[in-house]
């Protein structure tokens, strides 16, 4: 069985597991079920937990349920990484200083913690004023309410725009990524291939940018076929070859296909993290087992090809 790999965020003292437990689906769970889910993650070596103000049927609902169910001692709080996101509102995006600061204060109250280890700007706000974001970040950091900052679903250009004013390092970018949905990887592999849709760069060189600038990519929907189109694991109708290779490698490494799907992401030298969305403790353990599986280059590219991508 593989061990849990941890990564160091450049320019910070933060060290985090490369598998993250996302908590966007816990609003309707009982307290004991939430504690069991959290415990299964900790037992598997996961120390990083992902929230957002919009997760749940109402704002801060999932953060509130986590805070109610998981009573963190001071020592336990110091041993884990809690991150949350801000910026999505009903029908629009809002990176105003007022909204960022107020939302963080609400998140802290809901989570029953004094600080966030990482705060991310959720989806790009085209009306963003970088100076206003910088003021919010500086105020939150000076007050000890947020230690580190990042973004989610941002392009290199959008990040560079923020950096014209934001002085705090932007340590992470959370993006959609799975074996079957990987344009940020696939486009580079098919670079300069005229007439091939895969060669179209939809992410503005995001993968290389992250590696060049020391940003950690966090992969959300790691088992999704597309944009919430269902999972590819076990879908032998649409992905027979991929599932055959997943099964073969799972047997070889002594894990489940879920573990191999995680390993495909964590094997990449960009040192990415995988964000889980499950509420099933067993699935958490299966996923965590893929944290440090040393897939060979041949195995990694076999999975890529089996998913339907072109290797020129």
Name the residues annotated as catalytic: 55
Distance CA 298, CA 54 (A): 40
Distance CA 170, CA 213 (A): 9
CB 132 within 8 A of CB 95: yes
Question: Within 13 Å and on the Cβ side, how many CA atoms surround 191?
Answer: 6
251 contacts: CB under 8 Å, gap ≥ 6: none
SS3 label, residue 275: strand
Distance CA 255, CA 28 (A): 30
142 contacts: CB under 8 Å, gap ≥ 6: none
Check the CA dihedral 152-182-277-171 and report its sign.
Answer: negative
Check the CA dihedral 245-223-279-9 and report its sign.
Answer: positive
Give the max Cα distance, the chain: 57
Indicate the helix (H) or strand (E) that contains 242: helix 240-253
Distance CA 305, CA 310 (A): 6
């Amino acid at each position: 069985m593989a061990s849990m790999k941890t990564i160091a965020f450049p320019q910070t003292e933060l060290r985090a597991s490369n598998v993250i437990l996302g908590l966007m689906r816990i609003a309707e769970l009982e307290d004991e079920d939430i504690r069991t889910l959290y415990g299964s993650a900790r037992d598997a070596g996961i120390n990083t937990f992902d929230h957002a103000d919009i997760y749940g049927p109402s704002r801060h609902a999932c953060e509130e349920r986590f805070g109610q169910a998981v009573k963190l001692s001071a020592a336990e709080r110091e041993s884990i990484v809690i991150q949350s996101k801000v910026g999505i509102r009903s029908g629009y995006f809002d990176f105003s200083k007022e909204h960022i600061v107020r939302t963080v204060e609400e998140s802290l109250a809901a989570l029953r913690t004094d600080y966030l280890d990482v705060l991310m700007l959720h989806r790009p706000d085209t009306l963003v004023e970088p100076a206003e974001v910088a003021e919010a970040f500086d105020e939150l950091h000076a007050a000890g309410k947020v230690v580190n900052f990042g973004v989610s679903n941002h392009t290199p250009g959008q990040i560079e725009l923020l950096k014209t004013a934001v002085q705090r390092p932007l340590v992470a970018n959370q993006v959609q990524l799975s074996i079957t949905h990987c344009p940020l990887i696939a486009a580079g592999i098919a670079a300069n291939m005229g007439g091939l849709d895969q060669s179209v760069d939809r992410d503005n060189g995001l993968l290389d940018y992250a590696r060049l600038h020391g940003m950690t990519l966090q992969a959300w929907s790691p088992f999704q076929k597309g944009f919430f189109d269902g999972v590819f694991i076990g879908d032998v109708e649409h992905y027979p070859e991929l599932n055959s290779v997943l099964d073969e490698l799972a047997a070889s490494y002594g894990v489940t296909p879920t573990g191999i799907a995680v390993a495909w992401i964590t094997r990449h030298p960009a040192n990415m993290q995988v964000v889980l969305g499950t509420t099933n403790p067993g699935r958490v353990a299966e996923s965590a087992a893929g944290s440090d599986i040393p897939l060979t280059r041949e195995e990694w590219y076999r999975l890529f090809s089996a998913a339907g991508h072109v290797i020129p």
